[in-house]
Chains A and B, each alone.
Chain A
Amino acid sequence: MSMLPFFQWMESLAFSDFIRMSAWISPAVNVMHLLALVVFTGAVLIVDLRLLGQGLTERPLAQVARDAQPWLIGGFLALLVTGIPQLTTTAMKQYYSPFFWWKMEGLLLGLIFTFTLRRKVTLADEARVGPFWAKAVGLVSIAIWSGVTIGARLIGLLS
């Protein structure tokens, strides 16, 4: 089944029209999306660095992860809330951009990975996980979220 009708529907919403008619709502939403990105990636990186044996090594991994959790979830929700209007107002551009689909696939992968495997490893007893798996999880996390960020930036530049 094609997603095209869904994207056409998003683009035609009164909500999208309303935002497109304003000169400042889109830039404001865009700016907030970027601020949310900083909070989210900060919360991701402080834990990923710890997984790699860097950063806050004097603190137990599970505590670093628990401290970062509200900023990880809050940052993600803010990204979502500010991302939706940007998607609906430019839905057709997004639909035809390969980078949008790259970003969304990465996002799905990142969410599944972060809330299953990574969550399990960060909250587990570090001695049982061992440095190899901790490092692997940290590297995969950095790779996925970097990929999502790169794809997101390229939607506006190369499509």
Chain B
Amino acid sequence: MKLRDYILRRLLLLIPVLIGITFITFFLTHNIPGYDPATPWLKDRTSPEARQLIIQQHHLDDPIVIQYFYYVSDLSHLDLGLSASEANRPVADVLATFFPATFELTVTSLLICIVIGIPIGIISAIKKDKWPDHIVRIFSLTGISVPVFWFALIMQYVLHKEFNIFPLGGRLDIGTVAPTFNIPFIPFHSTGLYVLDSILGGNLETLRQALLHLVMPSFCLAFISLAVVARMTRSSMLEAMTQDYIRTARSKGLSERVVIFKHALRNALIPTTTVVGLMFGGLLSGAVLTETIFYWPGIGRYATGAIASMDYSSIMGTTLLISIIYIFSNLLVDIIYAYLDPRIKYG
């Protein structure tokens, strides 16, 4: 089976899972006791008749299965309802506004994970059982034990209050306008990714601010995943180093450096890539907490607020979005894995 067919098959298998997700999300958020489903459309003094009208308009008294179908058909138009916690803006709009912030944060964290985590793992494998290895081991076990929200608060205290190196939160200093750019032939003027926008627009000041503001939240988020990546790299390197082909490589007279970094690493990266890809889901979860503490205007913080104020269309929309991202990133990881490892037969 070719790679293309493999991808197609996986995508098809996704469909039942996607349907299942929409169903679960819908069902969960429609069964909230004591909650008046007409709430998003109620104004301060809505008469009972007006309320009745609203209910009929939005099919709120139909059997739940019927409501589900309306919901799915709305979805196909990308209509996710209105967000009560955001002055009744369409949920889809709100998500589109907040998503880039989370994306920027998550991608930065992922980069930190890779750039720091993998080398640490390699060193740990090479110096197995010596003190660098022990230190990395303690570090990684601590990493997965640390509560993200606590770590964030401590970071804020130490790095902002005590040493004032980094700003407390937000994406830019208060009062700074979001960067935009103006490139011919491109119809839009910003991606929502401030670092990218600053570079494209040649705006050095916002670039500096955006980067500074990114540091704490992304390190905080990355810390836990870093530990896992380091650990994973270490064990897959160790696994690779005991293989026969390493002995062959040495018998050919290759230098130890080539043996480790070309022969062993290339093999060790395969399972590591899988783990890194799966980190993405973990990062999304962690983003919820981190964004709240660092006042980061992303979908994580939006979700928390929505849940707190029982804005159920927002909750549904966000959960759906996050789950879909998660599934697709998993799929991407599987595809990358199949591409990297020539032994995978897609049949």
Are A and B interaction partners?
no
Where the two chains meet, the residues of B that have a C-beta atom closer than 8 Å to any C-beta of A are none
Contact surface of A with B, Cβ cutoff 8 Å: none
